[in-house]
Structure 1
Amino acid sequence: MSGHSQFNLLTQRRFLPYFTVQALGAFNDNVYRQAIIGLLAYMAVSSSDMGLYANLAPAIFILPFFLFSASAGQIAARMEKQKLIVITTSMEIAIMSLAAVGFLLQNMVVLLVALFCTGLQSTLFGPVKYSILPSVLKPEELTGGNGLVEMGTSLAILLGMVCGGLIFQLAGSHGPQVAAVCVIAMAVAGNTVARQIPKVDAGDPSLNVDWNIVRASRRIWALTRQRLAVRNAVLGVSWFWFVGTVLTAQLPVYAQTNLGGTQNLYIFALALFSVGAGVGSMSCEKLSGRTVEIGLVPLGAFGISAFLLDLYFARPGQALAAGLSVLQFADAPGSWRIMFDLVGVGLFTGFFVVPLFALIQSRTPKHELAQVIAGMNIQNAMFIVLAALIGIAVQRYLGWSIPQLFLALAIANTLVALWIFSIVPEFFMRFMSWVMVRTLYRLKLHGIEKHIPDDGAALLVCNHVSYMDALILSACAPRPARFVMYYKIFNVPVMRWIFKTAKAIPIAGAREDPQVMQQAFDAVDAALAEGELVCIFPEGALTRDGQIAPFKSGVEKILARAALRGQDVPVVPMALKNMWGSMWSKQDSRLRRMRVPRRLRAPIEVLAGEPVTGSTASAELLEAKVRALRGDAA
């Protein structure tokens, strides 16, 4: 897997046109919104009118998300996705043509109507933007694909703001004409590229659209709450928008009052945050090993809090100078710390939100995904409005400074993160296992993507070398797997909480505890019937000499029970190499103590072979295949 790169997706038709369309859309939206501000300055309107627009424009843009997200989600589920993208980008051409008229006539009413329509178009595009990814990407590509999308969106927003702000500065008296041409040209470019997106089947073509906004919104929002992990991932994404809104809404005043700069310094501060977010988003695939690794979410949450906290201490009061350029600010004492903090906040927001999007996409049935995304957009809009209101209230009525608001946000973010992780311990469990595996080992994978099926039931069988085997395999699998493990390993202190949270299945020998053994077989049977991955260690115990022990007949019993239900479960042989001799194996266990590791980041290989049909699999055959995969080294 080390030879793979998420950037390869940018060379493939299944992803590149879609990526380009969403980036062009984000770019054009921000060119348009910043060009309106430039037009107001060009028209020399009063500061009160400028303030009216600054407060009115976000509300006008966000209103369609409340009104039409439910309908948009149903339409996205019912229609073929490429066709819907072409329709929404065609709408953008019409909307930007109206906006062009507003620029040419210098008519704010027309521009605000077009802004509302832009919000409507974004509402319609939102559900298909994320629901299309699981249809065109493999499970192991979801994290990388989402990272590219978030990176592209962050940079497109930044570049759009810069370009939109420069139109009237560079074009002078021709600013209205240049703005009109730019927004139409970008819309036409987006529609042209959209026609290159391959066709993607509708998620639920038989869905009857409910046009009752209130009833449909309630039903769709309820869909986001049906699965605990998805519900809290949606909550996490909405909280991301809350934090981002509070932070970015304060940057213009923060750059002037606390950093002593001008509009250019605000853009620079926003650029630092955006670049950090882009790098963080792009790093998720490498850090996760191309799996949907929600263990990065706690890392992202606590990293955001840490850098927000340091941002407060870096500049708790007002700036000592005013009118600083970017270079002058960079030369001022303490400025590099502030710049580092802004990049750090952005970096960890990428770690936070990309795995959440990937989790929502991987854990939601495809026929429901567009509607779940729509429900999430409704909640996101609520959190954005709430963030704006809270930001205004605490500054106007409580007299908080912007650094104090950052401090409060750091504390609130920590408390919300702890609350989410307490009610869904899977997040924190994955974080702990991710830290342990990535700290102790360097994983090299062979055949994982090729042989572990993207969906449906499958049985994974692997040699058993150490207490860490289940965690290592879970870090490699592109999908969550249920592990069957010896009950004494399941009950190892500290590890027990991780195994229990991961829904591992403890098993005992028939002579030790026949009831536990029977419960284990029942749990495995139920998991396979639900289409889950199940991983077993057929040796029944850790190796005591580094060699593979004979496979027991339990694997045949599992397959026989599935066959009685009419299910032919494929079996994927797997092998662990180089784990013998680790601190978690039984080498040198004469003193009944774990061996001290020779070094951290030891290279470990995990191999997967060609699946064997359940009807032909036997303990002897699977043992031979695992031995062949492993070779001579343990």
Structure 2
Amino acid sequence: MTATAAIASDAHTHQFALLGQRRFAPFFWTQFAGAANDNLFKFAFTVMVTYQLQLSWMPPAMAGLAIGALFILPFLLFSATAGQLTDKYDKTRIIRFVKNLEIAIMAIAAWGFFRADAAVLLGCVFLMGLHSTLFGPVKFAYLPQVLNARELTGGNGMVEMGTFVAILLGQVVGGLLVALPQVGHATVAVACVLLALVGRGVAQAIPPAPATDPGLVVNWNPFSETWRNLKLAHGNVVVFRSLLGISWMWFFGAVFLSQFPSFAKEVLHGNEQVASLLLVVFSIGIGIGSLLCETLSRRQVEIGLVPLGAIGMSVFAIDLYFASRGLPAVPEMGLGAFVGQAAHWRVMADLGLLSLFAGLYSVPMYALIQLRSQPTHRARIIAANNILNAFFMIASSVIAGALLKAGFTIPQLFLFTGIANAVVAFYIFMLVPEYLLRFVSWLLSHFIYRFRIRGDEHIPTEGAAVLVCNHVSFIDAVLLMAASPRPIRFLMDHRIFRVPVLGWLFKLAKAIPIASQRDDPVAYERAFAQAVEVLREGDLLAIFPEGAITRDGALQPFKGGVMKILAEAHAEGIDPPVIPMALTNLWGSFFSRVEVREGKNVAMVQPFRRGLFSRVGLHVGPMVQSAEVQPELLQARVQGLLAT
């Protein structure tokens, strides 16, 4: 996080407030203008070729395919180079260069529109693809450099929302302008140049974003550098598999976006306005889902939303099949007739909710990649993402075309995609269980408990630290996961791994089982060695110093395990701070012990003994430097947090 981001870390309370800050607003409007111009130009050109020009060498049925292929080709060829340039040079300098390039391309395109020269405009499609390729790594590498970890989800949500709104407006305006009698081509030409100039003007206000790897030697061979970028991304397993997850989302989305015109005409029996309505509904859904991410994630990078998004994508893709398969064949309908039929509202609801959940799926993944990638080569990781996205979108076109040629209907294609999404998502979540674990903790903290966190700014967003917390219930670890923007490794009593379901979850979380020195001295020493290894890798380690779940709700004396961890860490030159935490109001809930008849303590009986949505909390205190740590001091700090 830069000094700028640190100073502004508490400057806003919600994502829309970022639009009032120089570190974000000029960048947001620059990318908004660029996305709008891309789509105004491409859609106007597509309409011109489809309806207004008669070209023997490019029939209307091929126009959309040719324009799409030419636009995406630079992503395959030049993304690796773009990633290197973004890491090597000031990002603001790169943005301004790209906007200057856009002005030059749009000037050539204006000449092409005036002359109705399709060959010139096809060349400009390729050049605008190059423009977007150069801007792609900057777009996602700039945000983590100026926003702190708690702003990343909101910032990404705003950018994702803005991009889809810009795409929608660009396509609508492009289609309307090019259809104007006599002056359509000239109006589009002027609009494209004006939008490019506006984008360049706004870009002038973007503050400097210094290079993260100025000593990088650029490899200009796109093929060898593409392979190197993919290997670089593969070095971080969580990041690379997240790249695959995002690329799959583009595969999924491309199937629906590419089929909207045919779906509207052949299945819904609507005209061009109906096809446009589907695009509007889809774009609005993406925008709402993207904006919801910050609200649902408590302003942290909450990848627990990704499984939720994947589930919604599959559910509503599959329901879209059932909603559209039985529609009767009728004469072609206009917009008014289409929306006047109740059956079509289900179709629109499915599309809107499908895209909303796609927004919940994609925004946390982008934020995770930004947060977990090394700053020195973050842009090259994002370039690798763009390369994979391009491959997956090409594969989407090929597979969808093959299925349709094999006899699939469009609703059947949607059904196949929804089922495939469920299979792929499950596979990814098994490969990277952190997504599933965060989903469980998110569900628990939102729908079982009303979970309130105070002092979460004390949880460090980078570097090693030891978290110490009171132990009240069997799901304490799950609640701590929900509070932290980073993964936590837990040192836990080996007996808890025998609890059904919870034991499986803790194994997925790679919790470290520990037995007493008396019961198993080998396991005892192995647990501490693993704990120090966690700190050596710069991660968060959590320990419950009481050693067991409380049987009466009171804080028990802290044992010396934390001192042994710190001593062994110091011996290896590691000096992690210790963060005291206190879980409040959990005693007596379903997952804690409670006293019953005959003085016995039991847990997980009478699920609703405290009612639904029981209010619980976590209080996080300021860090304690390891040199000051004593069990009695930590116990006093936790006791003080319990009293607040």
- Give the TM-score normalised by structure 1: 0.95
The structure 2 residue matched to 1:390, chosen from 393, 399, 403, is 399
CA distance in 2, matches of 1:319, 1:206: 64
The corresponding residue for 2:514 is: 507
Kindly indicate whether residue 102 of structure 2 is the aligned counterpart of residue 92 of structure 1.
Answer: yes
The corresponding residue for 2:536 is: 529
Aligned residues of 2:434 and 2:487 also touching (Cα < 8 A): no
Displacement of 1:280: 1.3
The corresponding residue for 2:126 is: 116
Displacement of 1:42: 6.8
The structure 2 residue matched to 1:614, chosen from 619, 626, 636, is 626
Aligned residue pairs: how many?
628
The corresponding residue for 2:152 is: 142
User: Secondary structure of the equivalent of 2:593?
Assistant: coil
Range moving further from structure 2, 490-499 or 64-73: 490-499
The structure 1 residue matched to 2:411, chosen from 386, 403, 407, is 403
The corresponding residue for 2:439 is: 431
Kindly indicate whether residue 462 of structure 2 is the aligned counterpart of residue 455 of structure 1.
Answer: yes
Kindly indicate whether residue 114 of structure 2 is the aligned counterpart of residue 104 of structure 1.
Answer: yes
CA distance in 2, matches of 1:319, 1:25: 41
User: Secondary structure of the equivalent of 1:572?
Assistant: strand
Displacement of 1:235: 0.8
Change (3 A) 1:537 1:4: farther
Range moving further from structure 2, 139-148 or 232-241: 139-148
The corresponding residue for 2:484 is: 477
- Give the TM-score normalised by structure 2: 0.94
Equivalent positions of 1:351-362 (< 5 A) are: 351-362=360-371
User: Secondary structure of the equivalent of 1:574?
Assistant: strand
User: Secondary structure of the equivalent of 1:202?
Assistant: coil
Kindly indicate whether residue 450 of structure 2 is the aligned counterpart of residue 442 of structure 1.
Answer: yes
User: Secondary structure of the equivalent of 1:587?
Assistant: strand
The structure 2 residue matched to 1:587, chosen from 583, 587, 594, is 594
Aligned residues of 1:127 and 1:371 also touching (Cα < 8 A): yes
CA distance in 2, matches of 1:429, 1:481: 11
Kindly indicate whether residue 223 of structure 2 is the aligned counterpart of residue 223 of structure 1.
Answer: no
The corresponding residue for 1:72 is: 82
Q: Which 5+ residue runs of structure 1 have no aligned equivalent? A: none
Q: Which 5+ residue runs of structure 2 have no aligned equivalent? A: 1-9
Change (3 A) 1:561 1:593: closer
User: Secondary structure of the equivalent of 2:99?
Assistant: helix
CA distance in 1, matches of 2:158, 2:390: 23
The corresponding residue for 2:6 is: none
Change (3 A) 1:452 1:398: same
1:339-375 CA-to-partner distances (Å, cap 9, x unmatched) read 1111111011112111211221222211122111111
Displacement of 1:511: 1.9
Displacement of 1:429: 2.9
The corresponding residue for 1:298 is: 307
Kindly indicate whether residue 29 of structure 2 is the aligned counterpart of residue 20 of structure 1.
Answer: yes
The corresponding residue for 1:419 is: 427
The corresponding residue for 1:254 is: 263
Change (3 A) 1:555 1:404: same
The corresponding residue for 2:173 is: 163
> Aligned-residue CA RMSD in angstroms?
1.9
Aligned residues of 1:269 and 1:342 also touching (Cα < 8 A): yes
User: Secondary structure of the equivalent of 2:602?
Assistant: coil
Please tell me the residue identity of whatever aligns with 2:338. Answer: F
User: Secondary structure of the equivalent of 1:592?
Assistant: strand
Please tell me the residue identity of whatever aligns with 1:189. Answer: V
Displacement of 1:318: 6.1
Identity among equivalent pairs (%): 46
Runs of 4+ in 1 over 6 A off after TM superposition: none
1:277-335 CA-to-partner distances (Å, cap 9, x unmatched) read 11111112222233322222222222211111111111215652233222211112411
Aligned residues of 1:146 and 1:354 also touching (Cα < 8 A): yes
The corresponding residue for 2:616 is: 604
Change (3 A) 1:4 1:600: farther
Aligned residues of 1:291 and 1:479 also touching (Cα < 8 A): no
Displacement of 1:7: 2.0
1:443-479 CA-to-partner distances (Å, cap 9, x unmatched) read 2111102x12221111111111111111101101121
CA distance in 2, matches of 1:595, 1:603: 18
CA distance in 2, matches of 1:386, 1:474: 36
CA distance in 2, matches of 1:82, 1:603: 46
Kindly indicate whether residue 634 of structure 2 is the aligned counterpart of residue 627 of structure 1.
Answer: no
User: Secondary structure of the equivalent of 2:594?
Assistant: coil
The corresponding residue for 1:36 is: 45
CA distance in 1, matches of 2:547, 2:572: 25
CA distance in 2, matches of 1:579, 1:627: 15
